[in-house]
């Protein structure tokens, strides 16, 4: 029995209709690279029964998005964030969802916006416009390139020696893609940094002493995941944690 993984959706208007949207690459990374069953977690905010949902899921994938976490969740400047760059319904869903998943030991893999959400959900803050800081590189996608070329690697990240990623990947650094305006400023106290860009921006974290797998990356391992050995290793580690939870759930329910 394959584990069931919830994938966070964005609330968007599609052809004039309120919709829940998930990028295909996230869905396929769970179905193919992780060999799990993907299901959508809608951005319903308080209308979503998170405890009931987590009882039935073996993992959570917190996806990237063109929208950003609303600055009010981390003391940022709400006046500067354009409304089309926000998704309050997603914030109202993923922030409590990630807190509950970490607390219950439900495996979490958080990507890009998800990386930022995990930090904010656990009490950290974000830089809203990393490229304006002066001491950081521009981490935004190159809009002069065709969309598919924007997911190619563009900079190096250095892995924390003997950290989760360095141990998993058996290397000290790696090349990653970069498609983000925001970035981690103050790291949540429960998180440990696992990777940094050359400019010092935190590019990966994990929850220290978490009861389960709880990992975030600022880059996009879901992009053509099965073609990248680092991405395969990350999704396989996530899948192993989901398989363990699935076995525990079956045992607790008496179905094995
Ligand atoms: N909007 C935030 C998060 C960036 C992000 O998730 N980018 C990926 C969007 C498209 C995709 O899902 O591949 C920021 O700009 O920091």
List the chain domain ranges.
4-254
Which of 10, 36, 112, 242 is flagged as catalytic?
112
Write down the ipTM of this complex. 0.99
- What is the C-alpha separation between 252 and 241, in angstroms, rounded? 17
In total, the chain counts a number of residues equal to 256
Backbone angles phi, psi at 183, to 5 degrees: -165, 165
Instruction: Report the separation in Å between the CA atom of 17 and the middle of ligand 1, taken as the mean of its atom positions.
Output: 22
CA of residue 256 relative to chain centroid, distance: 32
Secondary structure E strands in 104-190: 108-111, 126-127, 155-159, 173-176, 183-184
Q: Using 50, 70 and 90 to split pLDDT, how confident is the model at 254?
A: confident
User: Looking at residues 37-64, what average pLDDT do you find?
Assistant: 98
Instruction: Report the separation in Å between the CA atom of 52 and the middle of ligand 1, taken as the mean of its atom positions.
Output: 28
The atom of ligand 1 lying closest to the CA of 23 is 12
Q: What average pLDDT does the chain have?
A: 96
pLDDT digits over 184-240, tens only? 999 999 999 999 999 999 999 999 988 779 999 999 999 999 999 999 999 999 999
Which of 206, 220, 230, 242 is flagged as catalytic?
220
Q: Using 50, 70 and 90 to split pLDDT, how confident is the model at 253?
A: confident
SS3 of the chain: helix, strand, coil, percent, to 5? 40, 25, 40
pLDDT digits over 119-134, tens only? 999 999 999 999 999 9
pLDDT for the residue 94: 98
> In CATH, what class is 4-254?
alpha beta
Instruction: Report the separation in Å between the CA atom of 140 and the middle of ligand 1, taken as the mean of its atom positions.
Output: 9
Our mutation pick for probing the ligand 1 site, out of 66, 85, 124, counting the most ligand atoms within 8 A of Cβ, is 66
pLDDT for the residue 256: 60
- Tokens 């141990």 sit on residue: 167
Backbone angles phi, psi at 52, to 5 degrees: -65, -40
């Amino acid at each position: 029995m394959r584990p069931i993984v919830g994938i966070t959706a964005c609330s968007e208007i599609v052809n004039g209709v309120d919709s829940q949207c998930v990028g295909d690459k996230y869905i396929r990374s769970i179905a193919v690279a992780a060999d799990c069953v993907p299901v959508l977690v809608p951005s319903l905010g308080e209308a979503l029964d998170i405890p009931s949902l987590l009882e039935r899921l073996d993992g959570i994938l917190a996806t990237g998005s063109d929208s950003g976490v609303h600055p009010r969740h981390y003391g940022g400047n709400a006046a500067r964030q354009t409304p089309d760059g926000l998704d309050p319904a997603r914030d109202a869903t993923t922030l409590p969802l990630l807190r509950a998943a970490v607390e219950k030991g439900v495996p979490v893999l958080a990507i890009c916006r998800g990386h930022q959400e995990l930090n904010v959900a656990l009490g950290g803050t974000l830089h809203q416009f990393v490229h304006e800081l002066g001491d950081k590189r521009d981490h935004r996608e190159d809009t002069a390139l065709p969309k598919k070329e924007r997911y190619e690697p563009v900079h190096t990240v250095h892995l924390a020696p003997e950290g989760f990623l360095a141990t998993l990947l058996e290397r000290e650094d790696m090349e990653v893609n970069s498609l983000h305006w925001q970035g981690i400023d103050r790291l949540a106290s429960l998180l440990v940094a696992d990777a940094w860009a050359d400019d010092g921006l935190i590019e990966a974290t994990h929850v220290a002493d978490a009861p389960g797998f709880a990992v975030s990356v600022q880059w996009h391992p879901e992009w053509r995941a099965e073609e990248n050995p680092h991405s395969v290793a990350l999704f396989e580690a996530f899948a192993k944690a989901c398989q363990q939870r699935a076995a525990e759930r079956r045992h607790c329910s008496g179905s094995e």
